[in-house]
Chain A
Amino acid sequence: MYWLSGGFVFKRVVSPFNRLDPRVRLLIAAEFFLLSLMAQTIWQIVLLVGAILAISAVARSLRRIGRAVAFSGVFALFIFGVNFVLGLGLLHAILYAARFLAIISSTSVFFVTTSPDELEQIMKWMGFPRDVVFAFVTAVRFIPVVMLDASQIMDAQKSRGLEFEKGSLLKRAKNLVPILVPLVVNSVVRSGELAEAMESRAYGSTPRPTSLYAMRATWYDWAACVLSLALATAAGLYIYHHFPFG
């Protein structure tokens, strides 16, 4: 499970794609996302996924995005099954499942290449309130910490003879109490300590805090921006021309 979720977790690499301004990476991911929604034939989806995989290869993240796809495979099968059972035909069922995978991989490309710090900058640039941005960043920052807490709590309770996988459904639900209570208590204590540390480092003292890094688009970013917009528009127009909606 943890291995699969790696398909959405940022990892620092150096590549021509990672060098791009995070806003341009978001734009490119968004273009793929929209085109995946618009695509009307399996071949179009195959082309899109191919392009996404090509970009992930450039970003040296093919493996991680593969994990995201593997992770979503179960859901894709489910979508396929539902559509097939509903009698939409084999082709449509495949199309919907494939479209779902294309959407997942386009999202994954963005998250795998974008650090939470960059996400924070994008959110600020988009005008989200500072507290919202900070809450989001902190939540992401503490995911691994809370996961470690959870595994240590489970170890401690197993060492006191607790067997999770035993008994009726009700018994199993009750078995979660010794895990959840310490997890919640620890998180409350942790957030108290975080609040003290934030306060001690002047959080919220000015309405307009500065930033160590500025997002500054270079010619390289503009070029990527224009090129990707042109290609996406062309692809969009092509799809629209052949399969006008409504």
Chain B
Amino acid sequence: MTLIEFRDVSYVHPGGAAALSGVSLAVESGETVAVVGENGAGKTTLVRHTNGLLRPTSGSVTVGGVDTRKTTAAALSRRVGVAFQNPDHQIFSESVESEVTFAMKNFGFDDALVSRRLDWALNFFGLEEYRRSSPLVLSGGEKKRLTLACILAWDPEVVVLDEPTVGQDALQKEKLAQILGMLRSAGKTVILVSHDVEFLWPIQPRLVVMSGGRVVADGEMATIMSDRGLLEGARVTQPQLLRTYAGLSRRPARPFLDVLGARDWVSGLRPREGEG
């Protein structure tokens, strides 16, 4: 089932600069889609169209069959939860608890549901101990998790994450990868906007490459990432494991998707040395 559909969408900023031109894209229910491209390629503008923050200048965007021009961002957000890059652009409450319940109250959830979802979110994201603390005392990584908790608490059908790994250390990234895994197995639709090709590579999402306001590639990540000419033009980097694979004189039919896979293949190359 198609959840979000862009039909020949163009968007021109009030100042006059075109940010999207002729974008067509259909996101199916349960898919994980990653959007990559250099800064200014139109990714952020694309994201702002998924929940009606921006409306197309021409063409149309539909969410669950509803044209975004015929409804409000607040109503669409009930179905499409967007977590923006900078948590400091949304944190305002006196406590972590009220930060999480803010959206649910806006959406008119009843009290029993609000408190049930709050408990679940705080527990799931490991924020229980901060329930009554000010969100401002949280570390950068915790703030990032709080913004995710705020969104998943109202259980949207689509989760959009804008640069979730920026400034995150390895441990925080691992946690994020686990959360993504759980979202996928729960059947959620996930849209990831990210520069972090190393993070995306083992996940192998459907990949959308943007450049100059257009979608220049859309498909399997392994295939697109092997097209060096295309990546060069869009100023997107290649994952390290793929670059290693490309440099091998003898190599398996398909590139390594993770370090384990690569190790197993290289180990099979020759009998092991003695210890030492």
**Alpha-carbon gap, A186 to B90, bound state (A):** 10
Let me know if B88 is at the binding interface, CB within 8 A.
Answer: yes
In the complex formed, the residue of B with least CB distance to A150 is: B89
Of B84, B86, B90, B107, the residue contacting A161 (CB under 8 A) is: B107
Let me know if A152 is at the binding interface, CB within 8 A.
Answer: yes
Residues of A contacting B103 in the complex (Cβ-Cβ under 8 angstroms): 160-161
**Alpha-carbon gap, A156 to B85, bound state (A):** 10
Q: Mark A164-181, 1 if CB is under 8 A from B, else 0.
A: 000000000000011001
> Which one of A2, A160, A182, A186 has the highest number of Cβ atoms from chain B below 10 Å of its Cβ?
A160
In the complex, are the beta carbons of B102 and A160 less than 8 A apart?
A: yes
Let me know if B48 is at the binding interface, CB within 8 A.
Answer: yes
**Alpha-carbon gap, A186 to B87, bound state (A):** 11
Let me know if B190 is at the binding interface, CB within 8 A.
Answer: no
Q: Mark A194-218, 1 if CB is under 8 A from B, else 0.
A: 0000000000000000000000000
Q: For residues 128 through 171 of chain A, which have their beta carbon under 8 Å from a beta carbon of chain B?
A: 149, 152-153, 155-163
In the complex, are the beta carbons of B53 and A153 less than 8 A apart?
A: no
In the complex, are the beta carbons of B53 and A155 less than 8 A apart?
A: yes
**Alpha-carbon gap, A3 to B73, bound state (A):** 24
Q: For residues 96 through 110 of chain B, which have their beta carbon under 8 Å from a beta carbon of chain A?
A: 102-103, 106-107
**Alpha-carbon gap, A160 to B88, bound state (A):** 14
Of A152, A163, A177, A186, the residue contacting B106 (CB under 8 A) is: A163
Of A3, A149, A152, A159, the residue contacting B77 (CB under 8 A) is: A159
- Interchain pairs with CB closer than 8 A, number: 63
* Closest Cβ–Cβ distance, residue B169 to chain A (whole Å): 21
Let me know if A185 is at the binding interface, CB within 8 A.
Answer: yes
Q: Mark A22-42, 1 if CB is under 8 A from B, else 0.
A: 000000000000000000000
In the complex, are the beta carbons of B89 and A163 less than 8 A apart?
A: no
Let me know if B230 is at the binding interface, CB within 8 A.
Answer: no
In the complex, are the beta carbons of B48 and A155 less than 8 A apart?
A: yes
In the complex, are the beta carbons of A159 and B136 less than 8 A apart?
A: no
In the complex, are the beta carbons of B86 and A152 less than 8 A apart?
A: yes
> Which one of B48, B92, B102, B154 has the highest number of Cβ atoms from chain A below 10 Å of its Cβ?
B92
**Alpha-carbon gap, A177 to B107, bound state (A):** 18
In the complex formed, the residue of B with least CB distance to A163 is: B74
> Which one of A3, A149, A182 has the highest number of Cβ atoms from chain B below 10 Å of its Cβ?
A182
* Closest Cβ–Cβ distance, residue A181 to chain B (whole Å): 4
Let me know if B257 is at the binding interface, CB within 8 A.
Answer: no
**Alpha-carbon gap, A177 to B92, bound state (A):** 8
Secondary structure at the A interface, as helix, strand, loop or mixed, is helix
Let me know if B51 is at the binding interface, CB within 8 A.
Answer: yes
Q: For residues 183 through 241 of chain A, which have their beta carbon under 8 Å from a beta carbon of chain B?
A: 185-186, 189
In the complex formed, the residue of B with least CB distance to A175 is: B106
In the complex, are the beta carbons of A160 and B90 less than 8 A apart?
A: yes
In the complex formed, the residue of A with least CB distance to B91 is: A182
Let me know if B82 is at the binding interface, CB within 8 A.
Answer: yes
- Are A152 and B53 also in contact (CB < 8 A) when A159-B77, A162-B74, A185-B136 are? no
> Which one of B72, B84, B106 has the highest number of Cβ atoms from chain A below 10 Å of its Cβ?
B106
**Alpha-carbon gap, A125 to B200, bound state (A):** 56
In the complex, are the beta carbons of B102 and A152 less than 8 A apart?
A: no
Let me know if B81 is at the binding interface, CB within 8 A.
Answer: yes
* Closest Cβ–Cβ distance, residue B11 to chain A (whole Å): 14
* Closest Cβ–Cβ distance, residue B149 to chain A (whole Å): 12
* Closest Cβ–Cβ distance, residue B174 to chain A (whole Å): 26
In the complex, are the beta carbons of A161 and B88 less than 8 A apart?
A: no
> Which one of A156, A162, A181 has the highest number of Cβ atoms from chain B below 10 Å of its Cβ?
A156
Q: Mark B99-132, 1 if CB is under 8 A from A, else 0.
A: 0001100110000000000000000000000000
Residues of A contacting B91 in the complex (Cβ-Cβ under 8 angstroms): 182, 185
In the complex, are the beta carbons of A158 and B77 less than 8 A apart?
A: yes
In the complex formed, the residue of B with least CB distance to A186 is: B88
Residues of A contacting B72 in the complex (Cβ-Cβ under 8 angstroms): 163
* Closest Cβ–Cβ distance, residue A147 to chain B (whole Å): 12
Q: List 25 A-B contacts (CB under 8 A).
A: A2-B14, A3-B14, A149-B89, A153-B90, A158-B53, A158-B73, A158-B74, A158-B77, A159-B51, A159-B53, A159-B81, A159-B84, A160-B90, A160-B103, A160-B151, A161-B74, A161-B154, A162-B74, A163-B106, A178-B90, A178-B92, A178-B102, A182-B90, A182-B91, A189-B88
Other A-B contacts than A156-B90, A161-B74, 13 sampled, CB-CB below 8 A, are: A2-B14, A3-B14, A149-B89, A155-B48, A156-B84, A158-B74, A159-B53, A160-B106, A160-B150, A161-B78, A161-B106, A182-B88, A185-B88
9 A-B pairs with least C-beta separation = A161-B106, A181-B92, A156-B90, A160-B103, A158-B73, A159-B82, A161-B74, A178-B92, A163-B74
